[in-house]
Structures are given as C-alpha cells and as structure tokens.
Amino acid sequence: MKNKIEFPAGRNGSLFSATRKIAASLLVASLGSFFVAGVVNAQEATPPPPPGVLVEPARDEVIEEERVFAGRTEAISQVALIARVGGFLEPLEFKEGQNVKRGELLYVIQQEPYEFAVEQSQANLESAQAKVDLAKVDFDRKQQLVNRDTISVSELDTARANLKEANATLALRQADLKLSELDLSYTEIRAPLDGQIGTSAFKEGAYVNANSGTLATITSLDPIRVAFPVPQTLILQAQRADNIGADTTIIKLRLSDGNFYDYEGKLDFLEAEANPGTDTVTAHATFKNPDRMLFDNQLVDVVASAKDAKPVLVVSQSALLLDQEGPYVLKVNKEDVVEQQRITVVDQINGLVIVGSGLEKGDLVITSGIQKVRPGIKVNAQLAGQ
C-alpha cells in the first residue's frame, strides 16, 4: 500500500493560488513580447515618408542692373597759349573766363618792330632781285660775245658764277621776308580751338617772350570726357556676353546734388593697360556739354547699364551651395530623386545667381529644405509660392 502525503487544507489552497498567479504572469509576459515584436515588425515594414522640399525652375530673366562707378571729368582738348616772339602786350582782346571761338584774336604783342623787319626784308629782296636781273643781262651779253670769239670763255664763266650767286642771294632774301612775316604773324595770338579761356597770367604792358611760360589756357568743354575705373571681372563678363561697347551700354552721370545729368554718354574706349594696384581698367565715355554744366576735373558718379539686355539663365541665391570643388545646386529629377549638379556662376545680382553652365531652363533646384536631403534620396517636391 502506497503512502499518500496529505497537506493541510489551508496550505494546499495557498499553494494552488500562488501557482495560478505565476502562470498568469508568464502568460501576460509572453503576450507582451508578442505585441512588441509585432509593432517593431510593422514599423520596419512601413518606411517614413520622403522629406518635403521647396523647388523652383531655372528660368530666363532680363536683369535690369545698374553699376555705379566713381568718375572724373576730363577735357578732351586743353591748350596753353605761349608767346613765340618777344614784346610788350597790347590791351587784352578777351575777358577772362569767356567762351572763345577758333581763330578769335586774344593777345596782340607790340607789332611795330616786326613790321619794320618786314619792310626791311622786302627792301633787301628787291635789291637782290635787281642784282639777279643785272647778272642775267651780263651773262647773256658775254655768252653772245663768246660765240663771236670776242671775249674769253673764262669771262663767261665768271658771269655765270655771278648769276648763280645773285640767285642764291635772292632766295636768301625771300626766306628772310617769309621769316619776318611769320614773326609779325606771331604778334597776334589767336584761339586754336573752341573753348573757355581761363585767367591771363600777363596783362597789358607786360613784356613776354617764348620763355614767359603760359599766358592763358583754353579748355574745350563741349564735348567732355569722363574717366572711370572698371574692375576687370566685369569687363570679362561683358566681353563673354558680347555686351560691351557704345551700342550696348547706357551711361549716365549723377551729379553732386543727386540729380542725373541731362545727356546720356557714349562709351569711347578702354585703356590698353590695367592698374596693377586696383586690378581695374580705366574706361572713357563722352558727353555733350552745351550748357557747360560739367567742368574739367569734376567728380561724378557714372551709372552704367546694359541697353536691350538679353535674357540670362538664373536661379535664386538660396539654391546655391559651395564646397571645395566649387559651386553646385541640388536638382530634383523627374523621379523626384535629388541629384548634385555642378554649375558655373557668372554673377550674383539682386538675390539671383546668373548661371553660365550646368543647368537648363526648367530644371528644378531645391531652394528650401536643403539641410534635410542628400543626393540619391527621394523627396516630396513642391514648387515655391504654391
């Protein structure tokens, strides 16, 4: 007969109850692990949505841009009047500061000594002419006598030499007369060009000669030229775009009072040599100046813009990125996948980037949300402004 172990009723009930609690705990733990694993698997099966970005198309735009340069006016022609002969000045034939015309009489140097010199040269010339006439008659006569064997040939040779000497003296006296007349003409100093005459350094009664220096200066102010330095980078950009020259550039002047000058200028030429200190090239533009509002050596602002500017390919400046290899943008292709696109930048103007190469019109570039993406991932692209 097998022995049977019996437990007291109270203890047996407690043990059964504890067993049930342990079993329930194990069941709850198992179910919990199952549900956690299910949630993890569900998350792994459902990928996150693509990041949203704003894009805009590369587009053609006409850039109305003005460049401002510091310029200085310069007279195209400026002549210093200098005495060529010596003498005392007669009363001035002009008022200082007035506008004069080409050929207008300005100074007269005392003319009497030079008039006397002309008269003397004329008398000497007449005397020389008489000697030539006499020598010619003598030569002709002796030539006839030689033909008749009346005189020796040596006498004819002497007559021929006398005639040549007389002709040489005549030529010398003719030159003297021309020189005297030229000196007399120098006693009148006339304006060599149209312009404004400045202050006279010598007044009536002063003795002047070639060593006296400048009597006065005539400055031609209409037209007038303006010189201004242009960075070489701008010149190269304009040359590549075939957008530099008198027919493609509008040039205006802004005066010291803030107002624009009435007349537009015309680009004249660029200096052949650059300034090594500033890496600029001096440009020259010509302006009409009929009212003499512009003076020589005056500071002005030169405002240059393109005439009939051509459209250029642009994107917003916010799309531009830069690394060690140079500028690039993030482009979104037809499959909404991000691509890195290298570009060349011509210029940056008014928040826009002018693209030289790397993009075509209509290409979509990311302008906002760039920090959330990288090349190769898919994005949810929305056009900016929509």
Confidence of residue 304 (pLDDT cuts 50, 70, 90): confident
pLDDT digits (tens, 9 = 90+) for 164-181: 999 999 999 999 999 999
- For residues 252 and 69, give the distance between their C-alpha atoms in angstroms, rounded to a whole number: 11
Instruction: Please state whether 332 falls in left (phi above 0), alpha (psi between -120 and 50) or beta.
Output: beta
pLDDT of residue 45: 59
Under a CB-based contact definition with an 8 Å cutoff, are residues 72 and 297 in contact? Answer: yes
Q: CB under 8 Å to 329, separation ≥6 — which residues?
A: 315, 319, 320, 321, 340, 341, 343, 358, 359, 365, 366
**Least trusted range by pLDDT, from 130-144, 235-249, 256-270:** 235-249
Short-list 357, 368, 356, CA closest to 321: 368
Under a CB-based contact definition with an 8 Å cutoff, are residues 380 and 365 in contact? Answer: no
Short-list 197, 198, 215, CA closest to 206: 215
pLDDT of residue 133: 95
pLDDT of residue 31: 45
Res. 28: pLDDT tops 70 = no
pLDDT digits (tens, 9 = 90+) for 367-381: 999 998 999 999 998
pLDDT of residue 21: 54
- For residues 63 and 48, give the distance between their C-alpha atoms in angstroms, rounded to a whole number: 42
**Mean pLDDT comparison of 117-121, 240-244, 264-268, 353-357, highest-scoring range:** 117-121
pLDDT of residue 1: 43
Res. 98: pLDDT tops 50 = yes
pLDDT of residue 246: 59
Under a CB-based contact definition with an 8 Å cutoff, are residues 196 and 68 in contact? Answer: no
C-alpha 190: how far from its chain's center? 37
- For residues 75 and 197, give the distance between their C-alpha atoms in angstroms, rounded to a whole number: 13
Beta bridge partners of 229: 282
Res. 2: pLDDT tops 50 = no
**Least trusted range by pLDDT, from 4-8, 113-117, 119-123:** 4-8
Instruction: Please state whether 106 falls in left (phi above 0), alpha (psi between -120 and 50) or beta.
Output: alpha
| Across 259-269, average pLDDT | 91
Sign of the dihedral through C-alpha 361, 367, 373, 375: positive
Sign of the dihedral through C-alpha 370, 376, 377, 383: positive
